[in-house]
Amino acid sequence: MQIDLSGRIALVTGSTAGIGEAAAQALASAGADVVVNGRNADRVAETAERIGGRGVTADVGTAEGTADLIRQLPEADILVNNTGVFETRPVFEIPDADWLRLYEVNVLSGVRLARHYTPRMARRGWGRVIFVSSEAGVQTPTDMVHYGMTKTAQLAVSRGMAQEVAGTGVTVNCVLPGPTMSDGVLAMFDELYPGLDPGEQERRYLAENRASASLLKRLIRPHEVASMITYVASEQASATTGRALGADGGLVPTIVP
């Protein structure tokens, strides 16, 4: 299968590291005109130069930052809503401020961008909106309930938007990675298992945490999720919309997608 995204403008939020960076690279390799986004101007510029794209520095976790990004990039054919934050905390110790912060960054960032770009895609007769959700959206992690809540919300938002643009040539989907070896996860490993090398940290995490149910028996790598995102963004995925597509290594114990 040859995926060709030549002539398509692809915006990937939170794309200076991890899954977002891998998705930006994969989309650029498929020929898309990729727009890298992040909050740090130097990292945005470096990543954009490395993948042969362009950069827009803006904090899409806020309404003001999202409006700034839209001013700089009024049109896009592919929107990958990847920006997100997570933290571990006992559910009864999560203050209102943290519930609201995770909701605004993880959910409203994508809602605001999709609200702008998706109707424009529909008028042109082609478009792809992809929410990078998580398997945590379908099996809530006990130590990250507020994070899981935002990922479940993305599933509902994505399905509802897909229904709204039915028949227009625009698809809206969620990709659900499992635990992925991202910068954020590596930082979490350093807190959980200080002093151990990354390989041993991964083995300990697999043995002691919910990732032990993975059928891969390892954490996912960002490029593996990026491959799914690139497929969903392609013409070949034209019959896939309103779906939640797993890239979780079989972690979710179900035969129903």
Q: Which residues are catalytic?
A: 147
d(CA 145, CA 90): 8
Can you read off the two tokens belonging to residue 53?
Answer: 């794209």
Grouping H, G, I as helix, E, B as strand and the rest as coil, residue 125 is coil
Can you read off the two tokens belonging to residue 167?
Answer: 């028949």
* Nearest residue to 161 via CA among 254, 241, 80, 57: 241
Sign of the alpha-carbon torsion through 27, 49, 124, 130: positive
- DSSP E strand boundaries for the chain: 9-12, 33-38, 54-57, 78-81, 127-132, 170-177, 244-247
Q: Are strands 170-177 and 244-247 parallel, antiparallel or unpaired?
A: parallel
CB 226 within 8 A of CB 23: yes
Q: How many CB atoms lie within 10 A of CB 110?
A: 31
d(CA 211, CA 219): 8
Q: DSSP label at 250? A: T
* Nearest residue to 181 via CA among 149, 147, 218: 218
* Nearest residue to 252 via CA among 130, 152, 146, 163: 152
